Amino acid sequence: MVDFDVVSLPETDHVAEGDTAPDFTRPLVNPEYWEDRALSDVVDGPTLLVFHPMDGTFQGTYLYNTIDDHGWSDDVDVLGLSISSPYAHKRLLADRGDGVRIFSDPGAGVIEEYGVAHDIDGMTGITESRPAVFLLDGDCTVEYVWVASEHPEFPDAEAIDDAVDHLVD
Amino acid sequence: MTEPQITLYRLQACPYCERVVRTLNRFGLEYQSRYVEPMHSERNVVKRVSGARSVPAIVDRKTGVTMSESANIVEYLEGTYGEGGA
C-alpha cells in the first residue's frame, strides 16, 4: 500500500441492500451485437450488476480480471455497466468478461440514479461511475452492495464470493 | 415488456438499413434493433440467422420469414403488411 492518504470520495446516497434495483433501459452489449434491454427484462435469476469506470481504465480491467478469475459468470448472470460506447464494450468482451454482457450508459443517467456517479477531475463534462457491485435476486431485490468510497478502491472479492454462494445456495 | 415480432439486424448509419426502418415505420410495425459491427468478419450472428453476413436482415416471427437485402425486405413488408397484404 502507499504511505500517503488516497482520495476519499464523498458520502453518497446509493441504492442499498433491501431496495429494488431501479429499472432502466440501455443498449446491452454481448460479444456479437447490442440491443435495447430493460434490466427487469434481463434479470431472471441471481444477477451481479457491476458498475465500473470507463473501458480501458485499469480499475475496469482489474474488475473484469476478478470476475473471470472468480468465475462469477458460472454461478450468476453478470452484467457490467459503464459510460463507454457499445463499440468499446465489444472490444472489452473480446479480451475479458467471459459470459458477461455490458450496458452502455454514456449520459450516466443510470449511474446517477444508482447514486454512484463520480466527476473526474481534469476531464470536464465526463461523469464517471465509481466501481460498485449490486447483487440482485431474481426479483431485482438488492441482496448485497459494495460502492467504492476511495479513489481508487477495489471490491472485496471474497465477500462477493460469499454473497454469491449465500444467494445461489 | 412484450418482445416485438420483428428483429432487425442493422449497422449504425447504414442507408440500406434506414430504408428498411422507414418501411417498418410506414406500416407502424414494432421491431427490435440489434446493432452489429461494420466489419463483416464480426457479424457471425447475422450469418447464423440469415445465412449471409450482410445487413439489413430481418427475422419476422409472425410469419417465420428471415430475409436479407433491403429491396427484398421492403418488397416483403409491402406485400405482407401493406395495402392488400395479409
The tens digit of pLDDT for each residue in A19-71 reads 999 999 999 999 999 999 999 999 999 999 999 999 999 999 999 999 999 99
| ipTM given for this complex | 0.88
Quote the minimal CA–CA distance from A46 to chain B in Å. Answer: 20
Question: How far is the C-alpha of A105 from the C-alpha of A21, rounded, in Å?
Answer: 16
The answer to whether residue A7 is domain-embedded is: no
Which segments within chain B are labelled E, that is strand?
A: 6-10, 31-35, 57-60, 65-68
CATH superfamily of domain region B6-81: Glutaredoxin (3.40.30.10)
User: How many CB atoms are closer than 10 A to CB A76?
Assistant: 19
Give chain A's contact residues with B (Cβ, < 8 Å).
27, 32-36, 38, 40-41, 86-87, 90
As for how many domains chain A has, the answer is: 1
pLDDT at A16: 98
pLDDT grade for B83, boundaries at 50, 70 and 90: confident
Question: How far is the C-alpha of A104 from the C-alpha of A84, rounded, in Å?
Answer: 6
Quote the minimal CA–CA distance from B74 to chain A in Å. Answer: 22
CATH code for position A44:
3.40.30.10
Window 54-83 of B, Cβ < 8 Å to A: none
B86 pLDDT above the threshold of 60: no
B84 pLDDT above the threshold of 70: no
Q: Give the mutation candidate from A25, A26, A28, A32 for the B interface (greatest B CB count, under 10 A).
A: A32
B14 pLDDT above the threshold of 60: yes
Name every chain A residue with its beta carbon within 8 A of the beta carbon of B57.
none
Q: What is the pTM of this model?
A: 0.93
**Are residues A34 and B37, on separate chains, in Cβ contact within 8 Å?**
no
pLDDT grade for B23, boundaries at 50, 70 and 90: very high
Query: What is the extent of the structural domain holding A127?
Result: 16-168
pLDDT at B41: 87
pLDDT at A1: 66
The answer to whether residue A75 is domain-embedded is: yes
pLDDT at B85: 60
DSSP single-letter state for residue A91: H
pLDDT grade for B53, boundaries at 50, 70 and 90: very high
The tens digit of pLDDT for each residue in A86-135 reads 999 999 999 999 999 999 999 999 999 999 999 999 999 999 999 999 99
Calculate the alpha carbon distances from A69 to A56, A64, A80, A140, A161 in Å: 18, 8, 16, 25, 11
